[in-house]
Amino acid sequence: MFPQIRMRRLRYGKLKNMVRENAVNVGDLIYPFFVDETAAEKSEVASMPGVMRWPLSLAVEAAREAYDLGIPAVLIFGIPKTKDEKGTSAYGDDDVAQAAIRRIKAEFGDDLIVITDLCLCEYTDHGHCGIVDFETRDVVNDQTLPVLGKIAVSHAKAGADIVAPSGMMDGMIEAIRLALDENGFEKTPIMSYSSKYASVFYGPFRDAADSGFCFGDRSEYQMDPANGDEAIRETELDVLEGADILMVKPGMPYLDIVYRIKQEFKMPLAVYQVSGEYAMIKAAAEKGWLDEEKCFLEACVSMKRAGADMIITYYAKELAKILAAKDQKKVLANVPKSKR
């Protein structure tokens, strides 16, 4: 007991760094970005300062910005030229996501991991994540599954390293795994949005991806924010169906879920710091109420502490620069002043 035990003894100077339990590294980061088939030049998303919609012609440049900073993976969201009720522009060989994948893989090969978001919401004119029965206004689960399989195969053919289904359809992991395996892509991993909540924090994303829904909401297939045990059941089903990497989305409001899933399944786990989390910190920082860099870094450290192995964040490039600067300071700190 005090005064023999003093917790502050380990909180000074370099010793503090030596006993630090968790840290964010550039190798933990995944950079998500939007590729717009109709755009001629990149444009900023109004509700997400610093986040761009990139034209297809600049998809390689968008990926290069991450690659040059040491970020190992990108996550691509396609914004198509045309949308219809069945999302047919999601799985053509020459559609926007597939074209972006091919260009990026041709440039970087195996040196950059390309992950693709696999969902219908960006490609349907109604904005829902599956096929809709317009008589009942219901998102029809089982009719959606083969379409998701087609999208997965088209992404893998284009060169995607990982497919990441996000629609929260029951049985989607099994359907995608079977489709990939039947088409010779048994080595392509699935990163499942295994615990995706019906969250208010997705608002800015819908502006960025033009994926707002024209009726209802997504609460009938995304998870109730009030539920925790349900996340374990959802995740277990995805594991049994063949998911290789798990995900919790959003991030900070669901750190308890991150912890529980990591403890329960001991599998690679990604956390998505979503658009609303990004916009919230950015807005507060612009007001001068928060230190932007420290806040993003602390938020990501909290995700690592909860059990995340990977962090998907729109702030990935800025974080990579912050981490590089910190590493440089550490190097200088170990060099005698006379030799600097």
Torsion of CA 58, 64, 65, 67, to 10 degrees: 160
Per the annotation, the verdict on 337 as an active-site residue is no
pTM over 0.75: yes
Indicate which residue of 83, 86, 105, 196 is catalytic: 196
The rounded distance, in Å, linking the Cα atoms of 117 and 152 is 9
Beta strands 246-249 and 195-196 are: parallel
Beta strands 113-118 and 162-165 are: parallel
Given pLDDT bands bounded at 50, 70 and 90, which one contains residue 209? Answer: low
Identity of the amino acid at 31: Y
Does the pLDDT at position 208 exceed 80?
Answer: no
- How does pLDDT run across 114-127, given as a tens digit for each residue? 999 999 999 998 88
Indicate which residue of 83, 249, 262, 282 is catalytic: 249
The rounded distance, in Å, linking the Cα atoms of 91 and 117 is 12
The rounded distance, in Å, linking the Cα atoms of 127 and 148 is 15
Per the annotation, the verdict on 249 as an active-site residue is yes
For range 120-144, the mean pLDDT: 88
H or E stretch covering 182: helix 172-182
Identify whether the C-beta of residue 34 lies closer than 8 Å to the C-beta of residue 208.
yes
- How does pLDDT run across 41-93, given as a tens digit for each residue? 999 999 999 999 999 999 999 999 999 999 999 999 999 999 999 999 999 99
Higher pLDDT, 138 or 110: 110
Given pLDDT bands bounded at 50, 70 and 90, which one contains residue 332? Answer: very low
The rounded distance, in Å, linking the Cα atoms of 180 and 150 is 9
